[in-house]
Chains A and B, each alone.
Chain A
């Protein structure tokens, strides 16, 4: 456990004094790339005189997005709510399944193929059916989000628990620890780094999952907003909503690092 759980060497640099400068150095290359892309886009649209219904310029997207900010915000709130509820359900289901599987070899054998099978479901075909079955309310959207996010979380936890070394298990057993105590003292804390990695993967899918569920059918939300604007050829507003979606996903992704530092401060310390 000493080797596998010791933070990797690079992590010391992440949190060392002067981390701000390092962060800037890490963010600079992608920022440059994005800036170049936007300039080329703006230049092409202007020079080729592309109609905004086909491809609006980045400046127009920002300008129109700002003009419609109240409306976009009004649709952002329901999307955030759906995302939060769906992801919470996903977390609860993921933890419950992972813990059950960790305690029962039978369940491990029984559930693993089903978990994999759940990922082969074509969500794109299932989501409209959900609307037919469950209507335009919260429930079908929560199901879609849970379906697309619970898999990485569940698998991350199951593998995290199972990665406990045999020697660590033996040590605990020699102390007289029950299976539950082994779980509480070693398997659970040992799985936390993997859980947070899985959480990051899951949360990036959560917002897009919500958008997709709303796109198929909703009364409010960024997904239905995009769908409506597309139908009235307001490509600029569709892209403005896409930008908001991307920002939300990035913000949630970064938030997991903050939570990680609170929950497992011993991790990533040099």
Chain B
């Protein structure tokens, strides 16, 4: 666990109510690894995510980043929420620099750093556009740009493509696969889409329903780079089946 980029160590969290939400969740993510979290709805994924993001503190357990205790701290992970949350009073470029501005980076430098990412993110020419002028896929890419420009060790993506139509979604997944390989990010993705998890991940952590624990981990041994054709392969279907079985609790 010590050599993990991100290590989740026995998290417990309870709210007033019959069952604890998190009941000893533990897993880790290696440097440059793409790990997905899937679980039945209502399994406490968002609480787990908020704890990892440092937005909530656990009752017990720790979050370690590079071996250092990061429990309750927000500066070790870059968090991308479900909705793009691009603010209409800012241009696309100024939306992507928001986190840097908050961190006190001078505006000119923040813009320079964000601007460099517009080309790989397919947003060139839209720097001074307003968010409402972007398509759904572009909005998500701008939101991801705002997240990665912070240059934090771990990216936390909370169902980033949940609101997109299925075609745009597939495009975004393929694009994320490419761009991640290029930048070598360490990613923890939360999703309820088994296909998305299988397509993007090196490993999938399956959570049990409340009280939430890790039920099992499934390694996705598919070659990279992955193209969309992969999803019709036999091996992909086997992994999907394995994940589905794990999610249903029959493994």
Tell me the A residues contacting B by CB distance below 8 Å: 1-2, 5-7, 165, 167-168, 170-177, 181, 185-186, 189-190, 192, 264, 266-267, 269
Contact = CB atoms under 8 A, between A and B. Distances in A.
B84 interface: yes
Interface string B61-86: 00000000000001101110111111
| Interface range on chain B (Cβ under 8 Å from partner) | 20 to 34
A171 B130 CA distance: 19
A267 B87 CA distance: 11
Contact of B89 (A165, A167, A174, A264): A264
Most B Cβ at <10 Å: residue of A1, A7, A168, A190: A1
Q: Classify the interface of chain A: helix, strand, loop or mixed.
A: helix
B150 A167 contact: no
A168 B85 contact: yes
Contacts of A181: 102
B153 interface: no
Contact of A1 (B79, B85, B103): B85
Contact of A5 (B75, B87, B103): B87
B204 to A, nearest CB: 24
A5 B84 CA distance: 13
27 contacts: A1-B87, A2-B84, A2-B86, A2-B139, A165-B85, A167-B82, A170-B50, A171-B81, A171-B85, A172-B102, A173-B55, A174-B53, A174-B55, A174-B77, A174-B78, A174-B79, A175-B98, A176-B102, A176-B103, A177-B102, A181-B102, A185-B98, A185-B101, A186-B87, A189-B87, A190-B87, A192-B89
A226 to B, nearest CB: 43
B81 A167 contact: yes
Nearest to A264: B89
A220 B202 CA distance: 81
Given A7-B88, A175-B74, 5 more contacts: A1-B87, A165-B85, A170-B81, A185-B102, A267-B88
B102 A175 contact: yes
B51 to A, nearest CB: 12
Nearest to B53: A174
A174 B85 contact: no
A174 B146 CA distance: 12
Contacts of A269: 130, 132
Contact of B103 (A2, A167, A175, A189): A175
B99 interface: yes
